[in-house]
Structure 1
Amino acid sequence: MVTTIPDTLRAFFLPLVSHLRERGWQVDGMAKGISSNLECVQAFDRVWDVEWSRNPLDPKNLIAAPAQIRHALSQEQYDLVNVSTPVAAFVTRYALNNLRKQEKVKVIYTAQGFHFYKGGSLYKNAIFLGLEKIAGPWTDYLVVVNREDESAAKRYGLISPERVRYIPGTGLNLDRFNPSAISEAEIVGVRQELGLGSENPLFLSVAEFIPRKRPGDILKAFAKLGRPQVHLALAGNGLIFEEMQQLASELGIQKQVHFLGLRRDIPVLMCASVATLIASSQEGLPNCVMESLCMEIPVIGTDIRGTRDLLENGNGLLVKLGDINGIASAMTWILDHPDEAKQMGKRGRENMINYDVPHILKLYEALYAETALLLI
């Protein structure tokens, strides 16, 4: 399994790694700096460091990394290579194309969200679509996690349609994200930590502080809400964390907004909230939306791929990208319709069964078995 950085393997693929190893597979991992990631070192049979940049247009990616990838294959004689994330996916497929032609290895590409998408920059879309078209012939199977990407893969002919597989994510732990597993004492504890009383509804955002997550839209919408008793918590860190703190001050809502940083108690925070918010311009299949729905907490999200897949069945409220007033109106609806909002959240958990870890593991295991047959 190959990704650009080890955090992607750790966050998304370790349940699949564990499942396969329990069934007798040898599963190795490759990423930049993976040997320093203890969780990955313990999870895989063997790990391989590789030198590449996260910038997909950096020419250095095609200098050292391909030789390192081919060396790893020559050492271990892998049957299947599952790649993900833009740099790792492109460079690894490039490095292994000749070996694929010789039927010595099969390559599966899991696209966690193409970097070209509806509403994206025309310039960036053209570049990333062009790269995917180049790499398509180097791929045996293409896994997509949302319906927009599935349609795009077939429409642009990135790979033969019969080799495109829709698998919705890498699996969600329904035991961890289960409202029945959260005690009332835990909810009271986190609300006391934030200084909230019973009269203080809480909205929650769980996201990295980076531009494409658009946390500023959430803050501006919250300011428009104009309800001083309502609070907002934002869990996460990132490049624009301090900028968003400054924005909250400029909007005059700093006493109602809690910047929590990285948290390990996301399920509890969700249970303490009336709804979660996601204002992103780009997603593949957002875990925070699935997690919230599993906790029976409704979601207010932008009408983009991935988020749309999860909310279009009445599991939440969709608003147009960048629509500050729309987000504020959705928050108002949640506050003014508490019973309907709770029912919305309950429907969400019912619809998450197709996203849980056991279901996803079966889909991947079937795909790997199908792919392995091509080597016989």
Structure 2
Amino acid sequence: MEITQRAFLLPISQYLRSQGWLVDAVAAEIKTCTACQSSYDRIYEIDWTRNPLNLRNLTRASAQVRKIVERGDYDLVHVHTPVAAFVTRYALRNLRRIGKPKIIYTAHGFHFHRNGRPLSNAIFLGLEKLAGRWTDYLVVINREDEAAARRYRIVPPERVRYMPGIGIDLDQYTAERVSQEDIKRVREELKLEERHKLLLMVAAFDPGKRHKDAIEALALLRRKEVVLAFAGEGPLRPRIEELAQRVGVAEQVRFLGFRKDIPALMRASVATVLTSEREGLPRAVMESMALGVPVIGADARGTRDLLESGAGIVVPVGNVVALAEAMQYLINHPEEADRMGKHGLGVIRAYDLANILRLHVELYDEALREKRSAVFNA
């Protein structure tokens, strides 16, 4: 939860409050987030889970949301994460008859997508269309989702808004902020010699991230000087560690856990890798581009948006041979890797946090017709 808040919501809240808005937030375990306490006017703990099948979300949690919103007399509610977004819109569906609050939903990647299974796609599309009835504006952050929202009329097409992600602070993520000492420290920690070439994947160990593809591609390379590092935690980490042992590349793999020095790790790498089958607009790719480091990404929406103009190499999802070939190419062609990294610096400017903040304020002004009162994030 805290990672989501820091990466997605806190910069927006902090900016809005600096402009005179009142901003409250509701989330599970939000009181454990120290940064949240100073970044919102009020925070509320909510009793919901990430499990979409948990009926408590539509009973107890829904009642909690409605009570908070009625007491707060909010003009606008902006929802984000999938379960919270559905529960909140369900809870407030009857309040919309009086036109208050206005409800905005940012979809950080629909759960139905071109790489998904037909049955799950049908279920998730049905849920999105149902919740779309209770939504005033739908914000999408990649072009595939924008096309799908319009094609399936999840909300009326004129109520769909494309925004290039949730923003990345290009003053914070820049190569100039990473010193050679930082890079040296990282390489020493990872026990890398001068001959070693580092590839980095930043992603939680969840099924859709497909870490196994990166391990299997590394095995295909048969190059002992190539080291693959994973930054992140998650339930599948033990299985991926076992796979690295089984295919004979354990000595070439580093499991780093949760890290706070991602920029240094990226700058120490030949390229970053993201093998996910589903993404909204991956922050790891955005950060890599902002730091001038090329990306090898699986052909998932969002990743495709960021890389298709030449900031890296896009490979088919699950194609281990193509992934290995892309790794080989960037390792063998450092000049081309450098060119891709520099190209990414130009592309990522459209995703600058300042641009995203401007787009949010424009949307809020449209929704409220210039009337500013309070914002509620879920």
**Fold match by TM threshold 0.5:** yes
SS of match in other structure, 2:341: helix
Equivalent of 2:273, from 247, 272, 277?
277
Equivalent of 2:192, from 193, 196, 204?
196
CA contact (8 A) 2:5 2:36 kept: yes
CA contact (8 A) 2:365 2:371 kept: no
Match of 1:74?
70
1:291-336, Cα deviation, whole Å (9 max, x unpaired) = 0011111000101100000000011101111000010000010011
Per mean C-alpha deviation after superposition, the further-off stretch among 326-335 and 82-91 is 82-91
Identity of matched residues, %? 50
Q: Distance in 1 between matches of 2:194 and 2:4?
A: 38
Opposite residue 270 of structure 1, the aligned amino acid is M
Match of 1:360?
356
Q: Distance in 2 between matches of 1:289 and 1:249?
A: 28
CA contact (8 A) 2:76 2:100 kept: no
Cα deviation for residue 209 of structure 1 reads 0.8
SS of match in other structure, 1:138: coil
TM-score by length of 2: 0.96
Cα deviation for residue 6 of structure 1 reads 5.2
1:249-281, Cα deviation, whole Å (9 max, x unpaired) = 111111111111111110001110000000001
Cα deviation for residue 374 of structure 1 reads 8.4
Cα deviation for residue 9 of structure 1 reads 2.6
Match of 2:43?
47
SS of match in other structure, 1:89: helix
Equivalent of 1:150, from 146, 153, 156?
146
Within the alignment, does 1:185 sit opposite 2:175 as a pair?
no
Equivalences for residues 214-293 of structure 1 within 5 A: 214-293=210-289
Q: Distance in 2 between matches of 1:99 and 1:60?
A: 21
Q: Distance in 2 between matches of 1:373 and 1:331?
A: 51
Match of 2:9?
13
Within the alignment, does 1:169 sit opposite 2:165 as a pair?
yes
Match of 1:98?
94
SS of match in other structure, 1:255: helix
1:155-188, Cα deviation, whole Å (9 max, x unpaired) = 0011111110001111101122101111111111
Alignment coverage as a number of residue pairs: 372
Cα deviation for residue 7 of structure 1 reads 4.3
CA contact (8 A) 1:6 1:32 kept: no
Cα deviation for residue 66 of structure 1 reads 2.1
Q: Distance in 1 between matches of 2:83 and 2:263?
A: 32
Within the alignment, does 1:344 sit opposite 2:332 as a pair?
no
Q: Distance in 2 between matches of 1:39 and 1:222?
A: 39
| RMSD of Structure 2 on Structure 1 (CA) | 1.3
CA contact (8 A) 2:138 2:161 kept: yes
Match of 2:376?
none
SS of match in other structure, 2:171: coil
Opposite residue 143 of structure 1, the aligned amino acid is V
Equivalent of 1:108, from 101, 104, 108?
104
CA contact (8 A) 2:293 2:338 kept: yes
CA contact (8 A) 2:299 2:315 kept: yes
Per mean C-alpha deviation after superposition, the further-off stretch among 153-162 and 365-374 is 365-374
1:218-254, Cα deviation, whole Å (9 max, x unpaired) = 0010111111111111111110112111111111111
Per mean C-alpha deviation after superposition, the further-off stretch among 156-165 and 31-40 is 31-40
CA contact (8 A) 1:82 1:108 kept: yes
SS of match in other structure, 2:285: helix
Opposite residue 262 of structure 1, the aligned amino acid is F
Per mean C-alpha deviation after superposition, the further-off stretch among 35-44 and 79-88 is 35-44
CA contact (8 A) 2:190 2:254 kept: yes
Q: Distance in 2 between matches of 1:288 and 1:269?
A: 12
Q: Distance in 1 between matches of 2:348 and 2:17?
A: 26
1:95-135, Cα deviation, whole Å (9 max, x unpaired) = 11221110221000000001111120111111111011111
In structure 2, list runs of 5 or more residues that go unmatched.
373-378
Match of 2:292?
296
Q: Distance in 1 between matches of 2:304 and 2:100?
A: 39
Opposite residue 257 of structure 1, the aligned amino acid is V
Opposite residue 283 of structure 2, the aligned amino acid is N
Opposite residue 365 of structure 1, the aligned amino acid is V
Q: Distance in 1 between matches of 2:135 and 2:113?
A: 20
Opposite residue 10 of structure 2, the aligned amino acid is L
CA contact (8 A) 1:6 1:31 kept: no
In structure 1, list runs of 5 or more residues that go unmatched.
none
SS of match in other structure, 1:233: strand
Q: Distance in 1 between matches of 2:248 and 2:256?
A: 18
CA contact (8 A) 1:6 1:34 kept: yes
TM-score by length of 1: 0.96
Cα deviation for residue 71 of structure 1 reads 1.1
CA contact (8 A) 1:104 1:375 kept: no
Equivalences for residues 83-94 of structure 1 within 5 A: 83-94=79-90
Q: Distance in 1 between matches of 2:51 and 2:250?
A: 35
